[in-house]
Amino acid sequence: MKILVTIYSSFAVWNIPASYVESLRRAFPQHTFLHATTEAEALALIADADVIFAGQVDRSHLAAATALRWIHSPAAGVGGMLYPEMVASPIVITNSRGMSADTIGEHVVAVTMALFRRLPLAIRRQVQHDWAMDEISAPPGNRTIAGSRALIVGFGAIGTAAGRRLADLGAEVSAIRRNTSAPGPPWLHELGSPDQMRALLPRADIVAICAPETSGTQRFIGAPELAAMRPEGVLVNVSRGKLVDESALVEALRSGAIAGAALDVFEHEPLNATSPLWDLPNVLITPHTSGFRVDHWDAATALFSENLRRFDAGQPLLNVVDKQAGY
Neighbours of 274 (CB within 10 A): 6
* Strand partners of residue 35: 5
- In order of 218, 223, 225, the CA distances from 257 in angstroms are 22, 10, 11
Residue 150 DSSP SS3: strand
Neighbours of 319 (CB within 10 A): 19
pLDDT tens, per residue, the chain with 327 residues: 999 999 999 999 999 999 999 999 999 999 999 999 999 999 999 999 999 999 999 999 999 999 999 999 999 999 999 999 999 999 999 999 999 999 999 999 999 999 999 999 999 999 999 999 999 999 888 999 999 999 999 999 999 999 999 999 999 999 999 999 989 999 999 999 999 999 999 999 999 999 999 988 999 999 999 999 999 999 999 999 999 999 999 999 999 999 999 999 999 999 999 999 999 999 999 999 999 999 999 999 999 999 999 999 999 999 999 999 999
**Tell me, what's the pLDDT at 189?**
97
- Packing angle, helices 119-127 and 101-116, rounded to 10: 70
**Tell me, what's the pLDDT at 140?**
87
195 Cβ contact partners less than 8 Å away, ≥ 6 residues apart: none
Q: Do 66 and 84 meet the contact criterion of CB atoms below 8 Å apart?
A: no
* Helix, strand, coil share of the chain (percent; to 5): 40, 15, 45
**For strand 149-153 and strand 51-54, is the pairing parallel, antiparallel, or unpaired?**
unpaired
**Tell me, what's the pLDDT at 166?**
98
Q: How far apart are CA 137 and CA 206, in angstroms?
A: 19
- DSSP annotation of 98 reads T
Q: How far apart are CA 61 and CA 59, in angstroms?
A: 5
Residues identified as active-site? 240, 269, 288
**Tell me, what's the pLDDT at 141?**
87
Residue 304 DSSP SS3: helix
184 Cβ contact partners less than 8 Å away, ≥ 6 residues apart: 155, 175, 177, 191
Q: What is the pTM of this model?
A: 0.95
